[in-house]
Amino acid sequence: MDKDTGWEKYADIIHLPHHVSPARPRMTLEERGAQFSPFAALTGYEGAVRETARLTEQRTELSEQAKAELDSVLSFALERGCAVCVTCFIQDEKKQGGRYESLSGRIRRADRHRGVIIMEDGSAVPLEDVCRLELL
């Protein structure tokens, strides 16, 4: 029993014309290449890893003295119309903790009933989230 090696076992068909389907158009090279693109078995895994690795900070609680100092600076800035830099804590929507952000400008008013500082640009900063208030 003799085994054919290599192309010799196809000798009877090797000279026939290439088959072309009348029902399906020929694939482009891009379409053929897409068949061999990497398969992402864990869809969303990379995003979950990035989210877990994203760092957040914990909110620091202010002492009563620090709150009194903030109130004093706020009153002074309102009376004099001074520009201020407000640093406040913004809670993260997806995980525990958050980040600190600063914004600068003039305070239009402080609504102590609603517990917010209204800036001249219309942004509202919750008083409970303010951790630093500096005069500019």
Q: pLDDT at position 89, please? A: 92
Q: pLDDT at position 69, please? A: 92
Structure tokens at 121: 């640009």
* Contacts (Cβ under 8 Å, ≥6 apart) of 109: 78, 117, 118
pLDDT tier at 4, thresholds 50, 70, 90 = low
Structure tokens at 28: 């482009």
Give residue 105's Cα distance to chain centre. 26
3-state secondary structure the chain: CCCCCHHHHHCCCCCCCCCCCCCCCCCCHHHHHHCCCCCCCCCCHHHHHHHHHCCCECCCCCCHHHHHHHHHHHHHHHHHCCEEEEEEEEECCCCCCEEEEEEEEEEEEEECCCCEEEECCCCEEEHHHEEEEEEC
**Mean pLDDT of the 12-36 span:** 87
**Mean pLDDT of the 19-48 span:** 82
Q: pLDDT at position 1, please? A: 44
Q: Selecting from 3.30.2270.10, 3.40.50.300, 2.30.30.100, 3.90.1150.10, what CATH number does the domain 64-135 have?
A: 2.30.30.100
Q: pLDDT at position 81, please? A: 87
| pLDDT, tens only, 59-103 | 888 899 998 999 999 999 989 888 999 999 998 888 888 899 999
Domain boundaries, the chain: 7-53, 64-135
| Distance set, CA 109 to CA 59, 78, 123 (Å) | 25, 7, 11
Percent of the chain with pLDDT over 70: 95
Average pLDDT, the chain: 86
Q: pLDDT at position 84, please? A: 93
Q: pLDDT at position 2, please? A: 55
Count of C-beta atoms within a 10 Å radius of residue 106: 14
